[in-house]
Each structure stands twice: as structure tokens, then as C-alpha cells.
Amino acid sequence: MFAAASVHRAAHRPAEVQKSQLLSIKTGGCAEDCGYCNQSAHFDTGLKASKLMEPEVVIEKAKAAKVGGATRFCMGAAWRSLKPRDEPKIVEMIQGVKAMGLETCMTLGMLEDGQAETLKEAGLDFYNHNLDTSPEYYRQIITTRTWDDRIDTLAKVRAAGISVCCGGIIGMGEGRADRIGLLTELARLDPHPESVPVNHLVDVKGTPLSGSEPLDGIEFVRAIATARILMPLSVVRLSAGREGMSKELQALCFLAGAGSIFVGEELLTTANPGRGADDAMFDTLGLQPMAAPSGPRAQAAE
């Protein structure tokens, strides 16, 4: 913890935490069988599938997110890969959100040749594509997409000049060696991902991982701290699972190097702390919302 906090203070402003908001722009019906996800068509979770949102609806939601204090707006579609027919709407979303001065991030599954360049030209700042877990544990979680598929998509994103958002999920029944393996693989990406979301599994009934034994909170903090030490300049994002965390546990995550949270009452399709709870936590901990989109802070905190 001390080592992680020292690294964090050397490269970031520790009292600043970015508020990001994540919107599901296309929900459910996904062809993938990710064992943690209630949006998979393989599982009966009671989630109703929907079509891709219209760009004007997404842009209005981004405006509301900005009013609520978010400086980063992330958009996620539950599908295996981006289809060419959907590219015009995706481009319009990126351009509209970007025009507000918000940092933009998309997660759209796998990408074909040329699609990352299209997203870059539209102004996309970040593309999210998580490794999820270690290579050794990967097949226990997903069978419809390979580890190499994920690496290939990340390579396309990087080659197009888009910043990489890539992390994983903790608490899926993996051992400590698998958590170390995930973080090691993330740190082996060259350059490191500019954004590293660390998610805690959210138990959703109907998914194969429902009923997994909850991970000890200190083990989760250790993952945050290790990510900070291994990738000093990356923004480590405290992501899914905050609804089940005490403010004391979240405080340890911030101390260990987390520099971002997702705000809003819903994170894709699962519960997230309300704005009032987050504002109260920031006030209690003496944290300040990051005022404007910003990558890693290269100057030491005073």
C-alpha cells in the first residue's frame, strides 16, 4: 500500500478523482458467453434485449452526465463485434459527445481492419477491450472468443492511434496467481494501457458465475495497488462493484492508486452508487472531482 501510494503521488494528483459515466447503448442479446455477463444470449437472466440507441438519445444522456459532473463518457454495446451497418451511428455518437468537451470511450467488441481508423477519425479518445482474467483462467470464463482475439483487437486500436482502456474483473473464482497473471499481462502491453479498469464481479442471478464466493476486500485493494505499481502512469479505474463496497474500502482503493470512478445509478445494467452517496464520500475523504478530461498527470503532487 505504501509503495502504491508513493507511485501514485509521484505521477498523479492523489486528491483528484475523475468522474466517468458509462451508458449501455445496445443492451442484451450478445452472442458471447462471458460467464459474468447478464447481457449474454446464452443465459436466462431476465434482461430484455434492445436495439442500438439513436445518436440523439445518447447525446442527450451525455449532456446529463456532464451536468452531473462526469468528464468522461463511455458507451458500451452488447455485441460480439462492430458491424459496418452500425458505424455511421457510432461515429455520430462519438462526434456529438466529443463536441461537448467530454472524454470519449467506446466498447464495441472485436474490430475488423479499418474500423479502428474510422473511430479515430470520428474523434474517439479511448477504446475499451478488457483481458478479463489471466490467460490460464480465461477459458473458465469465456469460450466464444479467444485470448488472441482480444490481443488482436487491442493491436488494431493501438495502431490506429486510439488510447487503450484495458483491465479485468476480480472475484470470478480465480486464485491470487490468476490475479497476478492478469496484471502481469496488462503490464506487458507496450506501451501500457492509458486506462486500466479494475472491476469487482457483480453477482447477477442466471449467470454461470452467480454464487461465486465474494472476494476479501483487502485482496481487491491489493489488485488495485499492484496495478498502480506495475503501470505507474496509467489511470487505474475503480469500476464495477462499488455498490457493494463500504466507503472505507473505497478509500483504501483511492489510497492504493485508483484515480477514477463510474458515477450514475446504473453501470451498464447493474446498480451503482447514487450521485448523493458519491458526493458525500468525496466530501468525507477530501477528494476533488477532476475538472476536465486529462490523462496521466506527469507532475508530482505538492
Q: pLDDT: is 292 or 66 the higher one?
A: 66
User: If you average pLDDT over residues 62-82, what whole number do you get?
Assistant: 92
Paired strand residues for 17: 289
Residue 106: strand, helix, or coil:
strand
Q: Please report, as a single letter, which amino acid is at residue 15.
A: A
Range of lowest pLDDT (31-45, 81-95, 164-178): 31-45
- The residues near 108 (Cβ < 8 Å, ≥ 6 apart) are 76, 77, 79, 81, 82, 90, 127
Instruction: Report pLDDT for 292.
Output: 64
What residues does each domain of the chain span?
2-282
Residue 37 has pLDDT above 90, yes or no: no
Q: What is the CATH number of domain 2-282?
A: 3.20.20.70
User: If you average pLDDT over residues 120-134, what whole number do you get?
Assistant: 96
Length of the chain: 302
Q: For residue 291, name the pLDDT band (cuts at 50, 70, 90).
A: confident
Cell of 202: 457483480
Cell of 164: 487503450
CA dihedral 34, 157, 187, 32 (to 10 degrees): 10
User: If you average pLDDT over residues 177-193, what whole number do you get?
Assistant: 97
* Cα–Cα dist 146/152, whole Å: 10
Catalytic sites, residue numbers: 30, 34, 37, 74, 105, 165, 237
User: If you average pLDDT over residues 110-130, what whole number do you get?
Assistant: 96
Residue 294 has pLDDT above 60, yes or no: no
Q: pLDDT: is 295 or 297 the higher one?
A: 295
* Cα–Cα dist 207/184, whole Å: 27
Task: Indicate the DSSP class of residue 49.
Answer: P
Residue 17 has pLDDT above 90, yes or no: yes
